[in-house]
């Protein structure tokens, strides 16, 4: 699973701490999601998409091997 | 209206974060209280410094403080974010599995007539159980980089 969280964060000029506060998780937790070590739940993914005014599909995509 | 909603959402996430921290701190405090009751109780009972009726009460006190600690831990778990919940879950799974493996191994070795109660008594198993939990915690924290 790959994600574009870092790109979306850069567009909004948000730090990891800013986004983490918005979606109600720890900064370390967000770092774990951003680096692909942890796959978030649907609720958290939707919350993240809402914070960026985008969709979950834009934020998260399956790897070529997962499709 | 939008600003109000944004502020409300923002303050909710801050509240969740603070509440999570408070619950975590509470569980650490109760873990320390448990340790502070368990170690003196074990020492008193080992050296048989008190009579039997009082010994039973002294033996029960750490169990009560441990139960309170577990309740606080469950409460803290419910307000943790999902990454921390996963870390705790994996730590418990690894800790439980390793403890179960050790107990099975000790049982089988006992059947063979090879056992050393000096190293693997009930009291030691409690220590090994905690040790395995912390091993699991460390491994899981490394895995998710938190």
Confidence of residue B20 (pLDDT cuts 50, 70, 90): low
- Are residues B89 and B76 both part of a single domain? no
What are the tokens at A1? 């699973």
Verify that B76 and B93 share a domain, yes or no. Answer: no
pLDDT at B66: 95
Are B91 and B140 in contact by the 8 Å Cβ rule? The answer is yes
pLDDT single digits (tens) A22-35: 999 999 999 999 99
Q: What is the mean pLDDT of residues B66-86?
A: 93
- pLDDT for position B19: 62
DSSP string over A1-67: -EE-HHHHHHHHT--HHHHHHHHTS-HHHHHHHHTTSSPPPHHHHHHHHHHTTS-HHHHEE--TTT-
Q: Is pLDDT of B8 > 70? A: no
Q: Are residues B71 and B112 in the same domain?
A: no
ipTM of the complex: 0.84
Mean pLDDT within B78-89: 93
Which residues of A are less than 8 Å from B84 in CB distance?
Answer: 26, 29
- If asked whether residues B70 and B103 sit together in one domain, one would say no
Query: For chain B, what is the domain count?
Result: 2
Q: Which domains does chain A have, with CATH numbers?
A: 2-56 (1.10.260.40)
Of the residues B9, B20, B80, B83, the best mutation for testing chain A's interface (the one with the most A CB atoms within 10 Å of its CB) is B83
Q: What is the pLDDT of residues A2-56, one digit of tens each?
A: 999 999 999 999 999 999 999 999 999 999 999 999 999 999 999 999 999 999 9
Closest Cβ–Cβ partner in A21, A32, A44 for B10: A21
B64 in the same domain as B102? no
Question: How many CB atoms neighbour CB A45 within 10 A?
Answer: 19
Residues B56 and B96 in one domain: no
| Same domain, yes or no: B76 and B21 | yes
Same domain, B93 and B106: yes
Nearest-Cα distance to chain A for B13, in Å, is 4
What domain range is B2 assigned to?
1-80
pTM across the whole model: 0.79
Among candidate residues B23, B47, B80, the one where a domain is terminated: B80
Could you give the CA distance from residue A54 to residue B2 in angstroms, rounded to a whole number?
Answer: 17
Chain B residue numbers touching A21 (CB-CB < 8 A): 10, 13-14, 17
pLDDT of residue B97: 97
Same domain, B66 and B10: yes
Asked whether residue B50 falls in the same domain as residue B115, the answer is: no
């Amino acid at each position: 699973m790959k994600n574009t969280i870092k790109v979306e964060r850069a567009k909004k000029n948000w730090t990891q701490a800013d986004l983490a506060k918005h979606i109600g998780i720890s900064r370390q937790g967000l770092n774990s999601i951003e680096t692909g070590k942890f796959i978030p739940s649907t609720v958290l993914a939707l919350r993240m998409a809402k914070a960026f005014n985008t969709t979950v599909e834009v934020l998260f995509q399956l790897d070529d091997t997962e499709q | 209206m939008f600003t109000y909603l944004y502020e409300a959402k923002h303050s909710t996430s801050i509240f969740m974060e603070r509440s999570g921290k408070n619950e975590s701190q509470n569980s650490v405090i109760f873990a320390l209280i448990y340790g502070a009751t368990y170690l003196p109780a074990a020492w008193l009972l080992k050296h048989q410094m008190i009579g039997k009726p009082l010994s039973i009460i002294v033996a029960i006190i750490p169990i009560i403080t441990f139960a309170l600690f577990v309740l606080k831990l469950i409460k803290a778990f419910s307000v943790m974010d999902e990454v921390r919940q996963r870390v705790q879950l994996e730590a418990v799974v690894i800790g439980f599995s390793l403890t179960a493996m050790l107990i099975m191994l000790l049982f089988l070795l006992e059947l063979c007539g090879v056992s050393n109660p000096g190293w693997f008594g009930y009291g030691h198993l409690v220590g090994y159980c905690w040790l395995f939990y912390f091993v699991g915690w460390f491994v899981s924290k490394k895995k998710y980089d938190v």
